[in-house]
Amino acid sequence: MEKTYVGTVISTINSPSPSSVDFVVTNETVHRGQFVEMEHEHGIMLALITNVVKTNKYFERADSVKEFEASGKAILEQFPTAEWEYIVANTRPLGIFTESGIKRPSVPPSPGTKVYLARESLLKKFYGFDDNGVYLGRLEFHDLDVKLNMTKLLKKHLAVLSISGAGKSHTVACIIEELLERKKEQGRIACIVFDPHGEYSSFAEPAKQGYVDYSDKTLLIQGKQIRIGVPNLNVGMLAGIIPGISLAQRRELSRILSELKKEMRSGNGPFDLSKLKDAIASDSEIKTNTKSALLAWLSELESLHLFGKTDLPSIRDIVMPGKLAVIDLSDIIDLRKKQIIVSYFAHKLFNERRKQRIAPFLLVVEEAHQFTPEKASEEQAVSREILRTIAREGRKFGASLCLISQRPVQLDTTTLSQCNTKLILRITNPYDLDHIAKSAEAIDKRSLDMITSLQVGEALLIGEAVGYPLFFKVRQRKSMPSKHEMTLEEAAIQFEESVAKKNSESKAYL
């Protein structure tokens, strides 16, 4: 392919160096964010344009500009200024394609080196894009799809972070579409979403015209339908959701639970919380105060209306290769109840996957700061420990996490730092930026500065999925978005109309 010549490397105080190369633009226009390539003694060097500066000798000195303009005639009219305007592009060398692979530049190219727009083939190789990968968008200024290798993107976990409204859920919907469209021979994983706002339930609806239908690949579970089978709980999991349980109490609970399980196996059938309570109440060995404490806690758990005799749904029914399970928690207000659900099902997912009883999966956690918060007591964060465990160990078993949050500061650092790929959309809060910078080594100051000026749908990808930080525009989604949030005007009109309707109905009745 013919290369497009754009300029020539110039010699200034700071450039060319291994970390900074400036060139004067002699041909075409170039943009910040565009990639260029040039010959180098070790191979072909790829560089990113970080800034484009226009200069003109006529306007360099403030005193002479003032003096000439004082004559009443603009400098532009007095001199051939346009001929003296030139453009310098600052670039940051990214890597050199040598015979033995891509190397970091250690010596600069020479002044006078010709600079060309980077060929797409080179960029594709540099970022490790994969034809078989997850298609998420396009590189700006280049004719190239961002297709990320699924393993590199997800295996060591993904965090999607930004302020609210910048496009996190949209981007994750694109990732889910890609997972659902994979063919068996490409390797397809299961996807489970904990969805506190019901944003993904539209995947389960028949698609309107113009959208791709994923309803036959989606299972929707409403939070209210969920039941946790008490016989499936072990004492560790129960202790995790009972605040401040003592060792003695735990021991008694464990003993009675295993007695009940034994009875169950001998044909008594599964038991629920009230049966567990009965067993504790009628136990003669247990001390009175231990007994009453345990009974009080179990009554509290009973009031959540969450526990039953068996799991509903059963994990093995909802985790299928190439399919999506949306666990819609929007009908549950109690945060603790939501955390218990996340904790229980995350435990199950991890354990079943470890035993290879279910497919490799991606577990998407929306509003992840609610489920793995940075600052919260154990009791107020019952789902944190298991999410930490999956973050730490999941990669070995094909159990991947995708954490989504608009409050990175409130997200547990331990979990966040295990997310080896970060997809960052617009962020403005300096504390959030700082928190992210601390959890990601690859991020440099210049990339960090650019995050605050990203538009909706523009993303910075760093970490495992790409060799070098990558800015790109996230593609349109193919799935139908969830019902849009009403504007204040719409909500007000709807309210008045419903009142008017009620009034006219009651008048008709009179």
Ligand X SMILES: Nc1ncnc2c1ncn2[C@@H]1O[C@H](COP(=O)(O)OP(=O)(O)O)[C@@H](O)[C@H]1O
Interface residues with ligand X (CB under 6 A) are 162, 164-170, 456-457, 474, 476, 481
Residue nearest to Mg ion (CB): 169
Residue 456 interacts, among Mg ion, ligand X, none and using kind-specific CB cut-offs from 5 to 8 Å, with ligand X
Residue 180 interacts, among ligand X, Mg ion, none and using kind-specific CB cut-offs from 5 to 8 Å, with none
Distances (CA, A) of 191 to 217, 253, 488: 10, 35, 34
CB of 308 to Mg ion, least distance (A): 31
CB of 411 to ligand X, least distance (A): 14
CB of 180 to ligand X, least distance (A): 18
CB closer to ligand X, 161 vs 276: 161
Q: How many residues belong to the site for Mg ion (CB under 5 A)?
A: 2
Q: Which amino acid is at 506?
A: S
Residue 162 interacts, among Mg ion, ligand X, none and using kind-specific CB cut-offs from 5 to 8 Å, with ligand X
CB closer to Mg ion, 19 vs 164: 164
CB of 193 to ligand X, least distance (A): 13
CB of 88 to Mg ion, least distance (A): 41
CB of 218 to ligand X, least distance (A): 18
CB closer to ligand X, 199 vs 374: 199
Residue pair 158/401 in contact by the 8 Å Cβ criterion: yes
CB of 374 to ligand X, least distance (A): 20
| Tokens (6 digits) for 454 | 């990203």
Residue 476 interacts, among ligand X, Mg ion, none and using kind-specific CB cut-offs from 5 to 8 Å, with ligand X
**DSSP string of 157-226, one letter each residue:** -EEEE-STTSSHHHHHHHHHHHHHH--GGG---EEEEEETT--SGGGGSPPPTTS---GGGEEEEEGGG-
CB closer to ligand X, 384 vs 426: 426
CB of 300 to Mg ion, least distance (A): 32
Three-state DSSP state, 126: helix
Distances (CA, A) of 402 to 6, 14, 36: 41, 41, 33
CB closer to ligand X, 30 vs 404: 404
CB closer to ligand X, 41 vs 490: 490
Q: Which long-range contacts (CB under 8 A, 24 or more apart) does 339-342 make?
A: 339/370, 339/371, 339/381, 339/382, 339/383, 340/228, 340/241, 340/304, 340/306, 340/382, 340/383, 341/194, 341/223, 341/226, 341/228, 341/306, 342/194, 342/371, 342/383, 342/387
Alpha-carbon gap, residue 266 to 277, rounded angstroms: 20
CB closer to Mg ion, 168 vs 422: 168
Residue pair 341/196 in contact by the 8 Å Cβ criterion: no
Look up tokens 């009109």; give the residue: 493
Name the phi and psi angles at 193, rounded to 5: -120, 125
CB closer to ligand X, 187 vs 481: 481
The interface with Mg ion within residues 116-175 (CB under 5 A) comprises 168-169
CB closer to ligand X, 381 vs 474: 474
Residues 6+ apart with CB under 8 A from 220: 201, 203, 204, 326, 328
The maximal CA–CA distance of the chain, rounded, in angstroms, is 106
Residues 6+ apart with CB under 8 A from 498: none
CB of 4 to Mg ion, least distance (A): 39
Residue 166 interacts, among Mg ion, ligand X, none and using kind-specific CB cut-offs from 5 to 8 Å, with ligand X
Strands 399-405 and 158-161: parallel
Residues forming contacts to Mg ion in the complex (CB under 5 A) are: 168-169
